[in-house]
Structures are given as structure tokens and as C-alpha cells.
Amino acid sequence: MRKRIVAGNWKMNKNFQDAEDLMFEIVDEITENGIGETEVIICPPSVYLEMSSDIAVENGFMIGAQNFSQWDSGAYTGEVSASMLHSMGISHAIIGHSERRTYFGETDKIIASKVDLALKYGITPIYCCGEVLAERKAEKHFDVIRTQLSEALFHLGKEAVSQVIIAYEPVWAIGTGVTASSAQAQEMHAFIRSILADKFGDDVSQEISILYGGSCNAQNAEELFANTDVDGGLIGGASLKAVDFVTIVNSFK
Ligand code: PGA
């Protein structure tokens, strides 16, 4: 059966003490409410990975990076590599987030090389795809997602692609308070799964968790997660509040 997953993307928020406090608040909420069968991954800023992973290990959740370098190692001042993350016990990494594509010029080619590096070092990629508003309005959203998936993942074999978590994040829904409707999310998730089935076979497509991201919150998570092809969420803003985040974690029926 596919894993149910809720991942929190803290983005570039919180100073050290606030980050540590939030981590402990999440631990308290988890201790009180449990997480059921859901896999929980928190992605704090990279400078807090060590602090966070120590806490996560003791409390049954996992830590992911928000980003890492497209290169394996070497003279790349300021960069953090997949190998370094692996050596610190980091299990997951977000790859291809729309903010990386928009503000840091990450192309499908760069993103594909990051997917390869993550898999090389045993880090589970949380691969993000999503269309911008103009593309949806022009009814190009399915083509956009097909292209993004094929550029980043189609070079992989069946075994490798089975390791990947996909997050569908319509760019117009990220941080805007405008969520995709439950029907829009299900429609796109089913489309993504059908593309995966065509390329890698039905068995593989049924194993891959597809998360929804974009203004998912404690109020709408239950409806979104009730869809057959929505296996959880990648949560930005609402992951900065422990009560809301753990409510979302427990929003599966
Ligand atoms: P949001 O962000 O939940 O704040 O819309 C989601 C994301 O960017 O992963």
C-alpha cells in the first residue's frame, strides 16, 4: 500500500530559538495526538538540520532538506551537497520547488541532476511539479506537468523512480490562500499517476506517493486527503504552527 505522508516546508523562516521551540511544540502535539500510520517529514532551513534531526530521531518523525547542490562535491562556495546531507542522517530532500525554479533559475536539467544525486546518496527526493496560473487558464496545465515529470524522472529505472515522492504544487496556490479544489487536486493526481503508469507500469505507479501542496491547511486537509490519488501534503505556511501541522498530519480518514 502507498505511504501516507505529510511533509512540512518551513522555507526561510524562524531564528534558531524559535525553530527549536517549534520543533518541541510539534513533539508535544505528536505525543498528545499521535501520527497514526502517517510518515511525517519536517524540512527546516539547512542550518537547523542537525538540531532537528536529533529531536526527530527520538520522536518518530523524519527530517528533510529544502535544497542541496546540483554538484556532487568540490569548489562550490556556499553549497551543501547530497552526500553531506546523507552523512548527517538526513533522509529526504525537496527538489524542484517552484521557488527554486523561479528565484534561483533551476531548470528541469538541474532538477534532474539533483534527483540523481539524491538517489545516489540514499536520500528520498520530494519532487515538486506544478503549473503557473496563466498555464492553467490557457488549459496547458496537463502538458506542463507531463513535461516536468518527463524531464526530471523519465530517465530513471523502475526501481529508482519507486523511491521518489511527488508533490503536485500548483504555483497559483502556493502561499496565496487559494487552494486547488478537491476535484482539481484529484484530477491532476490521477493524471500524474496515469503518466507514471504509462511510462513505468501500473505496479510502480501505484507505489508512488503523490502529495498535494499549495495553501493546504488544518481546515481543508481532510477534504483534500480523502481523494483516492492524494496521498498526503507538502505544507508550507501551516507547518509553522504546531497545532495546525499535527492536525493536518491526522487529517486522513
Ligand atoms: P503553502 O506552501 O502551504 O504556504 O502554500 C506550500 C509549499 O510551498 O510547499
Cβ of 178 below 6 Å from ligand 1: no
Which atom, in ligand 1's list, is nearest to the CA of 175? 5
DSSP string, 220-249: THHHHHTSTT--EEEESGGGGSHHHHHHHH
Return the pLDDT at 135.
97
| Residue numbers in the chain where pLDDT is lower than 50 | none
- Residue 33: which H helix or E strand, with range? helix 16-33
Q: Indicate which residue's Cα is closest to atom 6 of ligand 1.
A: 236
Cβ of 169 below 6 Å from ligand 1: yes
Active site residue 169: yes
Q: Which of 97, 99, 106, 135 is catalytic?
A: 97
Q: Which of 66, 128, 211, 216 to mutate to test the pocket of ligand 1 (most atoms within 8 A of CB)?
A: 216
CA distance 137 to 98: 18
CA of 201 to the centre of ligand 1 (A): 30
pLDDT, one tens digit per residue, over 150-162 is 999 999 999 999 9
Return the pLDDT at 1.
78
Cβ of 213 below 6 Å from ligand 1: yes
Domains and CATH numbers, the chain: 5-249 (3.20.20.70)
Active site residue 92: no
CA of 173 to the centre of ligand 1 (A): 8
DSSP string, 136-197: HHTT-HHHHHHHHHHHHHTTS-HHHHTT-EEEE--GGGTTTS-PPPHHHHHHHHHHHHHHHH
Return the pLDDT at 219.
97
Return the pLDDT at 162.
97
Report the SS3 class of residue 31.
helix
pLDDT, one tens digit per residue, over 222-244 is 999 999 999 999 999 999 999 99
Return the pLDDT at 16.
98
Cβ of 125 below 6 Å from ligand 1: no
Cβ of 240 below 6 Å from ligand 1: no
Cell 487559494, residue located? 178
Return the pLDDT at 242.
98
Return the pLDDT at 253.
86
Cβ of 247 below 6 Å from ligand 1: no
pTM over 0.95, yes/no: yes
